[in-house]
Structure 1
């Protein structure tokens, strides 16, 4: 297990990196995203405009 930190600095324990490679060891660059953290970016990248995303939020779709 490895120690990491959330964006707000809260410490968190995460599983270690497997396999352990000698020449190219892995690393943890950032914690897992929070629920919905990248929703807007992903939907925008797929052509969903802001008005549609807001409507989907209003309807509880996202």
Structure 2
């Protein structure tokens, strides 16, 4: 199934109800695949680096 804006809204609402106000994601980005190690673990540092690069690019605009 293709994600829609409604899907992101539903996820945010669910997480907002389960977690504190400061913990829920303000933005949700759907991706085809996550970067993984050879053992199949998600490379969180790579995700953080990509997010930081996006924020930096947005601030340059």
State whether TM-score is above 0.5.
no
Bigger strand fraction: 1
Higher relative contact order (CA 8 A, sep 6+): 1
Task: Bin the TM-score by the shorter chain.
Answer: under 0.3
TM-score, scaled to structure 2: 0.25
Higher Cα Rg, which structure: 1
